[in-house]
């Protein structure tokens, strides 16, 4: 490990960056260095801009991915090397808001029924029933399941925050069947390596396999189940503030997006066309 890499890691630890963010930032800087086969501290501003153009035009990376790389490079050059923050100036782009694809309750049921492996089914049921992020579900421990209070403790979720979410009766039954079959010790969902939790990539693959077996085309990733949790809760009459707390959103504005995808809310709205008194087309002859 180079001295510069050690220094960057130290700077990130001091700022309490999550392990995921640290890995992402290091990978971004390493990608730049590999592209030019140069030490990153030897790469100038023009070279960095050319590299970003390469990512956008040749590799066709999404703007969100490029923006994450820009954040990592800006941190490296500003915080680690101490170069003025204006060194890496990238014109901002208006963020494109995309609404999440939501599965119906029937589609979620069909997906869960398509999974015959009890461990895999329990992973998906836990994600959906508690509205968990991928990193949160794979890092659950047995001690996080509080059956007396019917709560699940989420440790160090996004933003390094702890929170509680609900433990459904149906999920508790499934967890008990799962425990009798697999007898997990520390991690609720352990990986193949002893003492290690299930890798996030494994949980993601479980979702895609279940979706394919059920013949469901929509829903990009396992995070879809978290979106479904929020939307289905909203359609069941749960208020936005409660959903915000259960989801761990720092701002209610993040939760409000589910108002736009709630089938119950949208289907209850009457189009102004339905208010017009116009004759039936069948009364008119063809022109």
Q: Which entry of 226, 264, 265, 282 is annotated as an active-site residue? A: 226
Phi/psi region, residue 219 (left: phi>0; alpha: psi -120 to 50; beta: rest), is left
Nearest to 151 by CA among 165, 133, 132: 165
Catalytic site residue 133? yes
Catalytic site residue 265? no
Residue-wise DSSP of 107-173: HHHHHHHH---HHHHHHHHHHHHHT--HHHHHT-BGGGEETTTTEEEEEEETTTEEEEEE--HHHHH
- Domain at 105-267: CATH architecture: Orthogonal Bundle (1.10)
Backbone angles phi, psi at 150, to 5 degrees: 55, 50
CB 140 within 8 A of CB 192: no
In this predicted model, what pLDDT tens digit does every residue of 87-102 receive, in sequence order? 666 665 556 567 788 8
Catalytic site residue 36? no
Q: How far apart are CA 110 and CA 214, in angstroms?
A: 6
Catalytic site residue 226? yes
Catalytic site residue 153? no
Catalytic site residue 93? no
pTM for the whole structure: 0.72
Q: Other CB atoms closer than 10 Å to residue 109's CB: what's the count?
A: 12
Q: Where are the domains of the chain?
A: 3-87, 105-267
In this predicted model, what pLDDT tens digit does every residue of 152-206 receive, in sequence order? 999 876 766 889 999 999 999 999 999 999 999 899 999 888 889 999 999 999 9
Nearest to 156 by CA among 142, 135, 126: 135
Q: How far apart are CA 4 and CA 77, in angstroms?
A: 11
Q: How far apart are CA 127 and CA 174, in angstroms?
A: 13
Q: Mean pLDDT across the stretch 233-252?
A: 88
CB 218 within 8 A of CB 101: yes
Q: Which CATH class is domain 3-87?
A: mainly alpha
């Amino acid at each position: 490990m180079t001295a510069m890499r050690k220094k960057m890691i130290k700077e990130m630890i001091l700022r309490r960056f999550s392990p995921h963010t640290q890995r992402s930032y290091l990978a971004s800087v390493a990608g730049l260095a590999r592209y030019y086969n140069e030490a990153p501290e030897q790469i100038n501003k023009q070279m960095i801009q050319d590299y970003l153009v390469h990512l956008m035009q040749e590799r066709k990376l999404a703007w969100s991915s490029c923006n994450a790389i820009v954040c990592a490079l800006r941190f490296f050059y500003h915080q680690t090397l101490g170069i003025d923050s204006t060194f890496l100036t990238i014109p901002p782009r208006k963020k494109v808001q995309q609404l999440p694809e939501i599965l119906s309750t029937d589609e979620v049921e069909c997906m869960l029924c398509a999974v015959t492996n009890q461990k895999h089914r329990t992973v998906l049921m836990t994600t959906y029933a508690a509205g968990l992020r991928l990193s949160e579900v794979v890092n659950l421990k047995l001690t996080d399941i509080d059956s007396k209070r019917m709560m699940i403790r989420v440790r160090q979720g996004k933003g390094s925050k702890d929170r509680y979410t609900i433990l459904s009766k149906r999920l508790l039954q499934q967890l008990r069947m799962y425990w009798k079959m697999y007898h997990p010790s520390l991690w609720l969902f352990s990986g193949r390596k002893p003492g290690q939790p299930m890798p996030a990539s494994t949980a993601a693959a479980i979702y895609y396999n279940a979706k394919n077996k059920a013949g469901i085309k929509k829903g990009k990733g396992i995070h879809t189940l978290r979106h479904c949790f929020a939307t289905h809760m909203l359609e069941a009459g749960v208020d936005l503030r409660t959903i915000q707390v259960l989801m761990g959103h720092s701002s209610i504005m993040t939760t409000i997006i589910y108002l736009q995808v709630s089938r119950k809310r949208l289907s209850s709205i009457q189009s102004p066309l339905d208010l017009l008194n116009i004759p039936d087309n069948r009364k008119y002859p063809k022109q």
